[in-house]
């Protein structure tokens, strides 16, 4: 398996709490507790296809230009720089503190949990 395929698969397994991922011969199922790969499918230790589910909260921690309608300042560090230049360091820090405190709230996390 190529490293480009292996890394996201390992990351996915870690995030899902599925344990280590090991690539083996197609279709070979072991009882060693590992998730395996068969073609484009992840196969659980029980031999059944895994159907990962999840939600992405990346925008909470990694703001991107499209979120603010920016076309040139698209990376998080560029966005921070623009804010600092426009309003100053103190106001920039206050804005981002409010952002991290309120973009995703305890109620949001409770709702996400309830939808599972």
pTM of the model: 0.49
Which one, of 56, 70, 46, 69, lies nearest residue 103 by Cα?
56
Q: Is residue 50 part of a domain?
A: no
Phi, psi of 29 (to 5 degrees): -110, 130
Q: How many domains in the chain? A: 2
Long-range contacts of 2-5 (CB under 8 A, 24+ apart): none
Per-residue pLDDT of the chain (116 residues), as tens digits, is 444 444 555 555 555 554 444 444 444 545 578 889 999 999 999 899 998 888 888 777 888 889 889 999 999 999 999 999 999 999 999 999 998 888 888 999 899 889 87
Instruction: Say which residues have a Cβ less than 8 Å from residue 66's Cβ, sequence separation at least 6.
Output: 74
Q: Which domain holds residue 13?
A: 3-43
Phi, psi of 107 (to 5 degrees): -60, -40
pLDDT score at 8: 57
Residue 76 and residue 31 share a domain = no
Task: State the Cα–Cα distance between residues 109 and 88, nearest whole angstrom.
Answer: 32
80: burial class by Cβ within 10 Å (0-12, 13-18, 19+)?
Answer: middle
Phi, psi of 49 (to 5 degrees): -65, 135
pLDDT score at 54: 83
Q: Is residue 51 part of a domain?
A: no
């Amino acid at each position: 398996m190529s490293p480009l395929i292996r890394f996201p698969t390992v990351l996915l397994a870690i995030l899902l709490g599925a344990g280590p991922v090991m690539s083996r011969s197609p279709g070979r199922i072991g009882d060693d507790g590992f998730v395996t790969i068969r073609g484009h499918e992840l196969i659980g230790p029980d031999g059944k296809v895994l159907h990962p589910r999840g939600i992405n909260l990346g925008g909470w921690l990694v703001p991107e230009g499209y979120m603010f309608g920016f076309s040139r300042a698209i990376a998080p560090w560029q966005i921070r720089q623009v804010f600092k230049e426009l309003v100053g360091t103190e106001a920039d820090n206050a804005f981002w503190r409010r952002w991290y405190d309120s973009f995703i709230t305890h109620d949001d996390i409770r709702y996400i949990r309830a939808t599972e």
